[in-house]
Structure 1
């Protein structure tokens, strides 16, 4: 069954009704999404197998972003986040791109880098060449550590060596390039690096020290682009102002930090929902933003010849579908089923599309109306709940504090008291 991501009216349904509609649209048995109910999700016993000294679990809301078409295929996108407006904003931006075919993506593959640091080398330039001369031997030794990965079409692909001056002397750094297929890859490349270290040290004439993957995954880039309809954005002036806002983020690292945070609002939410490593993804994204020597925006916005807005995004995305929490966490498994992806590459493409959509939505809000208007309106429900409202009270308290223009905890407390006194 083909997923239809255009689910209008989803926000007006109850959580149970939403799960049923999402299951129907994704071609799933509603029972498969039962783990999204906290009572049936990750329990303490399961958590005890995931981390050390587990004492409980913390709940993060999981919402469904709609309207996404990525490379011609519709996806309903689970997003785990505590921040209001993120899911709605991404869904709205994806709707604005649907008329132009949605998001088009490309990737550089699934290659991760393991580093072996070698110190105390007397002749580092000659040591570098000795290591390169042994490339075939070292690649074969790496592949021998993971025959299953090799049988699946992955394995060691290349080896490079850097002479690195540091304040503590000159080091040699070996980079082992490994195609990790549908895994995030940390365990595979770390195992290979450990196995290579003694032979690397012997060839270099030094001592191996660190043997670890790099989260600067610049051999695993994902690129996404889309055209957003000028009329849906708010007209030519809004298009021009988004271009100006993007140029600001490209030129100024203070703005770029917040601009990229907007991208990661979307990226991290999908990565977390699917049980992948959010810290690795964020570290890779920020390192990529600084690859030119100064920190800049990861995305670009331009006006098309037809007056619409073209958005592009490039970032490293080391995500996987096998191993780790993606396989061990029941909610992550449900999220993968909802997405309907079958490879790590497909998942990365959707993640990049969500990042671009989220970024566009934030820039539009800033350029057109100011970020607080929409964000705080959605945040009003959280404020109402924090004031002690429950059930139908939450919606009514939120409505009144928005109408008052006072989306603050003290006003919500007053409104709740008034509401209860009037019963």
Structure 2
């Protein structure tokens, strides 16, 4: 009987781990050979990044073109397995560049660390006591990372919130930290750990959680674009886009898919540059629920001249130093291609990509439908899965799309006809 209990698995070499898993799960020699292939992320580096490594997993890295952001030109590295994401971003950027491209600004790289205090009898008094020691607590936090302070960052402010919960009052201290060019998770978590016993001494309460929040609403990015009717396909297309957006703004079922499309682009750039795309996803979806109902992260309007105006606002906590960005060789190259010299600039570029991705999606929905472009690319994957050779893939894919039948059975039928 198979058992997943393996004593000391984490202490074994990558090779030994792979052999154990291969034996227990009946991997073939060809499958083992595939897992032994390492690309730019070599075995040694991979083994230092996470636990229990047996191999690496490749994702296609593409370049979105046509981007003009704040009057600068950018090539955008995007790592994704989903068909049409890179093409959609590039096409939307081409439409937008004819009218000036994207304009983006951000609040700066400020993260929030939360310190949860319980066993509180007089929350207002406790809040006052914590704020009364603000300067002392900020100094204590900054003593943990003098280098960050030296480069203009560090703990800048304290906010205290009182929560009434089923377990009684909780007083939550927010430590606001400027993390400069880093995402900053390690720095803010370390500071929160240090302040926890200090807050207990000041208040007489008990601290439990002390950790960053991924709802980084001190780190908002706002992206904007304005597009002429002639560039987008006319008045009817604009009306369709406005209807698509309004649907998402009013209905959480639609908003979930609407925002997922935005994150297709944002997460792809985050992965390519070694940033935590899961944190970005969590923060974005939480921000979409800020006012009590989950809604669209973008807003589309028509101005007095009939132009389509798009606006995106969400928290984007990314960095260009530390974490996987510092050790993954492809992430380093992607940052070089991108040319974002600071963390805030990278965040602004990612915001523009999110807005472009949404523009592409709502435009497709308002015209030929989302499937046409998506399925034309997906058809190539189906053709390969059906056994098409490199010279046969395009023909098989084209015939499936023409017949509006993109599936394995049709691919095999077409492939048989071609070979006959």
TM surpasses 0.5: yes
Matching of residues 39-50 of structure 1 within 5 Å = 40-50=39-49
CA contact (8 A) 1:145 1:191 kept: yes
Matching of residues 327-342 of structure 1 within 5 Å = 327-342=326-341
CA contact (8 A) 1:124 1:204 kept: no
Deviation of 1:127 (Å): 1.0
CA contact (8 A) 1:122 1:205 kept: no
| TM-score (norm: length of structure 2) | 0.90
Separation of aligned partners in 1, 2:55 and 2:167: 43
Matching of residues 196-275 of structure 1 within 5 Å = 196-275=195-274
Deviation of 1:250 (Å): 0.8
Matching of residues 219-368 of structure 1 within 5 Å = 219-368=218-367
Deviation of 1:386 (Å): 1.5
1:5 aligned residue:
none
SS of corresponding position for 2:83: coil
The runs of 4+ residues in structure 1 deviating greater than 4 Å are: none
1:398 aligned residue:
397
2:101 aligned residue:
102
Deviation of 1:39 (Å): 6.0
Separation of aligned partners in 2, 1:144 and 1:75: 38
Separation of aligned partners in 2, 1:220 and 1:206: 30
Separation of aligned partners in 1, 2:61 and 2:202: 51
Separation of aligned partners in 2, 1:331 and 1:230: 39
SS of corresponding position for 2:392: helix
SS of corresponding position for 1:333: helix
CA contact (8 A) 1:96 1:229 kept: no
Deviation of 1:304 (Å): 2.5
Matching of residues 51-200 of structure 1 within 5 Å = 51-200=50-199
Deviation digits for residues 227-278 of structure 1 (CA, Å, limit 9, x no counterpart): 1232232111001110111111111111111110111011111111100001
SS of corresponding position for 1:392: coil
SS of corresponding position for 2:68: strand
Separation of aligned partners in 1, 2:302 and 2:206: 54
Deviation digits for residues 294-336 of structure 1 (CA, Å, limit 9, x no counterpart): 1010001111333221111000000000000011111111110
Separation of aligned partners in 2, 1:213 and 1:273: 23
Worse-matched range after superposition: 382-391 or 205-214: 382-391
CA contact (8 A) 2:324 2:331 kept: yes
- Does 2:416 correspond to 1:414? no
CA contact (8 A) 1:221 1:315 kept: yes
Worse-matched range after superposition: 106-115 or 401-410: 401-410
| TM-score (norm: length of structure 1) | 0.89
Separation of aligned partners in 1, 2:38 and 2:390: 19
Deviation of 1:40 (Å): 4.2
Deviation of 1:125 (Å): 1.6
Structure 2 gaps, min length 5: 1-36
Structure 1 gaps, min length 5: 1-37
Separation of aligned partners in 1, 2:161 and 2:306: 46
Deviation of 1:370 (Å): 1.1
- Does 2:349 correspond to 1:380? no
CA contact (8 A) 2:62 2:86 kept: yes
CA contact (8 A) 1:65 1:88 kept: yes
Deviation of 1:101 (Å): 1.2
Separation of aligned partners in 2, 1:287 and 1:40: 36
2:12 aligned residue:
none
| Backbone CA RMSD of aligned residues | 1.1
Question: What is the number of equivalent residue pairs in this alignment?
Answer: 384
